[in-house]
Homo-oligomer: A and B are copies of this chain.
Amino acid sequence: MQIAEPFSTPVPTLTDHRTRASAEDVAARFHAIRTRTTWITDRLAAEDQVIQSMEDTSPTKWHLAHTTWFFETFVLNGFVDGYQPFNEDYPYLFNSYYVQAGERFSRPRRGILSRPTVAEIRAYRDEVDRRVVELLGRLEGAELERVATTIELGLHHEMQHQELVLTDIKHVLWQNPLNPVFANRDGQSSDSRPMGWLDIDEGIYEIGTDEMDFAFDNEGPRHRVFIEPVRIADRLVTNSEYLEFIRDGGYRRSELWLSEGWAIVEADKWDSPIYWERSDAGWSQFTLFGLEPVRGEEPVCHVSYFEADAFARWAGMRLPTEHEWEVAAGELDRAGNYIESGALHPRASGDSRQFYGDVWEWTQSAYAPYPGYRAAAGALGEYNGKFMCNQYVLRGGSCATSLSQMRRTYRNFFHTAARWQFNGIRLADDGSGRGREARG
């Protein structure tokens, strides 16, 4: 099985800035990305697509409908005069969190809904897609530009949900003692390279972006930060290194942990990343390819912020800030970063410096607005800003992220206990003397 293809095959990009793209270009890109979603879900049974395994996850069929609702609400309803909704109950069922867009069905109860069925939702997708393309065919000039801008946001939203479909279904299938297989592993594993270091000098750096083909509002405004000197690892922490932490009592030594993290370790009896289990034959992990042995050379994955932080403390170091990460990634954008999207599992580093395409990387930066940030008015202003509290920023992009979503300024964010995403660890060393001697 090879899911990489629809992820990494270049989708039609807009040859010019989207504001001058043709309706045909927009439609082609729209079609390619929408189709990728169902390409993923086609390998699931209808029954799989119903389940909500925990409050954080959503049923596959909800993702299929919600991404469609996004286009129906912000494109069709916004730009088609007298638009009649496909089904008047769907907005209530498939709005996620846009309070200003109306009432919503209770999030933790999404798994209680058997109807509409998968087939009915696929029909909903088809009809909305048809109407969007139809709309594009009628527009030009400034109006086309406004619609294309909203569609582009919707497509980035769609790609985010493609990743969520994969992370959520992984969690769903993991609940099942039958260990269902989503896909077959594809390709060879390589070795991991020794950890190298990228030096960042003290100084004022510019962070974020103000303008580009596409960026979320939270990536700007571009602004200045002062960074004290620091070294950033040039590859991810591997399973072998993480196993050393486990064997050294990492999950039993309170002094390595943030207080909230330690409370969870004790309450939930954490002793490894989620999806890992130990048997007489050693460690195995549940993957989208089924249950597999843990491979030492691969990046550790599915760890919470608490585990990433504890590992770093054990190693005598710390996590990078998001500013440090962005500066380090900028040094490397020109060559040697590993990017293979759609692999469904992180790969060993090989010769790559591995900044994108394996795992999202926890930073020690709380998710906060950049100076001068201001959310847009209306429901779309709820896209990012209202979550800037009690979450932490991750950078890079994982093996489940679309190639066209990986960029240096992208700010992903999750709560500190979240483990079901493809999240891993990169180390930073600020020469504070925490050093290696802290271990043991």
Contact = CB atoms under 8 A, between A and B. Distances in A.
Interface of A: 45-51, 53, 61, 89, 92-93, 97, 99-100, 105, 109, 111-118, 172-173, 175-178, 180, 202, 204, 221, 223-226, 228, 230, 254-255, 257-262, 305-306, 309, 318, 364-366, 368-369, 371-374, 381-382, 386-390, 416, 430-434
Contacts of A105: 177
A51 B112 CA distance: 6
A303 B430 CA distance: 37
Interface centre among A92, A115, A230, A382 (most CB of B within 10 A): A115
Contact of A390 (B116, B180, B260, B364): B260
Contact of A432 (B224, B373, B390): B373
A185 to B, nearest CB: 20
A180 to B, nearest CB: 5
Contact of A180 (B115, B178, B254, B389): B115
B45 A115 contact: yes
6 contacts: A48-B114, A89-B178, A99-B255, A115-B176, A224-B226, A230-B371
A382 B255 contact: yes
A117 B366 contact: no
A5 to B, nearest CB: 25
Given A48-B114, A115-B173, A116-B178, 9 more contacts: A47-B47, A51-B111, A114-B172, A115-B178, A202-B224, A221-B432, A223-B228, A228-B372, A371-B432
A291 to B, nearest CB: 13
Residue picked from A114, A254, A374, most chain B C-beta under 10 Å: A114
Given A228-B224, A389-B416, A430-B371, A112 B381 contact: no
A183 to B, nearest CB: 15
B386 A257 contact: yes
A368 B366 CA distance: 8
A416 B49 CA distance: 35
A47 B48 contact: no
Given A114-B45, A117-B45, A366-B366, A259 B51 contact: no
Given A51-B112, A224-B226, A97 B259 contact: yes
A-B pairs with lowest CB-CB distance, top 4: A366-B366, A226-B226, A99-B254, A372-B432
A112 B177 contact: no
Contacts of A226: 204, 224-226
A319 to B, nearest CB: 10
A390 B364 CA distance: 11
Contact of A114 (B50, B221, B224): B50
A47 B255 contact: no
A158 B432 CA distance: 30
Given A226-B224, A430-B371, A432-B373, A114 B262 contact: no
A257 to B, nearest CB: 7
Contact of A259 (B176, B365, B368, B386): B386
Contacts of A382: 255, 259
B371 A364 contact: no
Contacts of A48: 114-115
Contacts of A258: 386-389
Nearest to A45: B117
Contacts of A89: 177-178
Given A116-B178, A254-B99, A374 B262 contact: no
A64 to B, nearest CB: 12
A61 to B, nearest CB: 8
Contact of A113 (B113, B175, B221, B371): B175
